[in-house]
Structure 1
Amino acid sequence: AMIRAKTAEITVSDLSMRVPEPPGCDEITQLARTANKTLARLEAAVEQQRQFASVVSHELRSPVAGLHTQLEEALLYPTDVDPTTTIRTALTTTERLQAIIDDLLVLARIRSAPPQTPEPIDLTTLVTEEITRHTHGTPVHTHTTPHLPVLGNKIQLIGVLNNLLVNAKRHAHTTVEITTTRTTDHAVLTVTDDGDGIAPHDRERVFQPFIRLNDGRRRDPGGTGLGLAICRAVITAHHGTVEIEDSPHGARFVVRLP
């Protein structure tokens, strides 16, 4: 009766409550423990969604407010404001909004869509094919191990590689290096640049949505700040990991896939 009464009190607005767990190991006790574990996971997921919604609102508010002000000034002071300049600036703002919304939709689909049937992919072949599309700008050197089979979504993994490669080329001083290797249980993709690197205390932060370090804002002021968050979401959905590890120089991104 106590478990039933406490369960009835729990709502989406307050998921912090837990049902009482009777002593012992009978079926009722096990059910109560399972229910509390489920509530804990649900509470964490709802809190994550609330924080994400708050961050998204903040990131969209600034460009929308700027766009509103530009258009309002053009109407209030038609003789003082150049309409062509206003339209050009407004167009740039809407393009940034569109880029943010597109990346948010990608992130939402990865996090919420049911998993698709994975296809066999040779990670080294995927890297080799995609590198041929990046012939301009900073040179990219590859060191690959043949035949690295993984299971997954090819389009999403190409997106991860492109995100990491574009990020590395943006921060590199002279070169980018990509390697593929194998361990006992994983295929490993490493993308390393010879830039200024990322401080240890920032290495986890940069995978959060809209987190952009000062150097990143300077080098790519039009970026959405969602690229690395999308990489993390894709690799997590593939039961792998992506981390920033120590490097003698620059930033070293390491992807491990089963």
Structure 2
Amino acid sequence: LLGLSRMQIDSHHNRTQLQAQSLWEDMLLDAQFEAEQSQINLNFQSIPEVTLVGNEKLLSSAFENIVRNAIRYGQSKIEVQFSLSDHQLTFTVEDDGPGVPEEELESIFRPFYRVSTARDRESGGTGLGLAITESAILQHNGTIKAERGSSLGGLKMTVSLPIQA
């Protein structure tokens, strides 16, 4: 917690130009392998060749947390898609898991909040991951949204980040 807190405080000092592809591709390949071990099919589109300006650790950690949550709660399929429009890179991560009840969608970004169906000890987690993820995205002038509108039936996470022209 202290390390992440320091990283967030110093994030504006450690900003560099980052290629989205090199930032996330290896993590997606690792996640795809990990998902296969749980009989989950993780599909992803190629990452657009765009430049982001930001803190590499924060952006990498935020994206990884979203994908790892999909692996944890997905049942058999996860889709990761990327799109570009109006100087924004948008990525969505959808799964076929149980999703999040509508009334809890905004709460999942609060520190230490855990969805009522994920509060047992076996599911692990502390309820900090999405709070840290939201903070990282907001620090990069981005947006993050959770919704039940997944075409796969579970949760859909959508993140938009500004790209460098």
Q: Which position in structure 1 is the counterpart of 2:150?
A: 247
Q: 1:155 to 1:110 in 2, by over 3 A?
A: closer
- In structure 1, list runs of 5 or more residues that go unmatched: 1-102
- Does the CA-based 8 Å contact 1:107-1:233 persist in structure 2? no
Summarize deviations over 1:214-255 as a string: whole Å, max 9, x none.
222248543111000000111111111111132231101111
Which structure dedicates a bigger proportion of its chain to strand? 2
**TM-fit CA distance, 1:148:** 2.4
**CA shift in 2, pair 1:254/1:204, >3 Å:** same
The alignment's TM-score, normalised by the length of structure 1, stands at: 0.55
2:101 aligns with 199
Q: 1:119 to 1:169 in 2, by over 3 A?
A: same
Superposition deviation, residue 196 in structure 1: 1.6
Partner letter of residue 255 of structure 1?
Answer: V
Structure 2 counterpart of 1:149, from 25, 44, 51: 51
Deviations 1:84-130 (A, max 9, x none): xxxxxxxxxxxxxxxxxxx3x24532553361242111223322221
Instruction: Give the 3 Å change call, closer, same or farther, for CA 233–110 of structure 1 in structure 2.
Output: farther
Q: Deviations over 1:27-54 (max 9, x none)?
A: xxxxxxxxxxxxxxxxxxxxxxxxxxxx
What is aligned with 2:139? 237
Match of 1:180 among 58, 82, 101: 82
Maintained 8 Å contact 1:148/1:182: no
1:130 to 2, 6, 27: 27
More RCO (CA 8 Å, sep 6+): 2
| Corresponding residue number in structure 2 for 1:165 | 67
SS of the residue aligned with 1:181?
Answer: strand
- How many pairs are equivalent? 155
Aligned-pair Cα RMSD in Å: 2.0
Seq. identity, %: 29
* Unmatched tracts of structure 2, length 5 or more: none
Match of 1:257 among 145, 161, 164: 161
- Partners of 1:219 and 1:183 lie apart in 2 by 41
Counterpart Cα distance in 2 of 1:234 and 1:220: 27
Q: Which has the larger radius of gyration?
A: 1
- Per the alignment, residue 116 of structure 1 pairs with 13
Answer whether contact 2:92 2:158 (CA < 8 A) is retained. Answer: yes
Kept in 2, the 8 Å contact 1:190–1:254? The answer is yes
Alignment of 1:9-20 (within 5 A): none
Does the 8 Å CA contact 2:90/2:158 hold for their aligned counterparts?
Answer: yes
Q: CA deviation at 1:146?
A: 2.4
Greater share of residues in helix: 1
CA distance in 1 between counterparts of 2:45 and 2:73 reads 20
Deviation digits for residues 45-67 of structure 1, max 9, x if unmatched? xxxxxxxxxxxxxxxxxxxxxxx
Q: Secondary structure at the match of 2:119?
A: helix
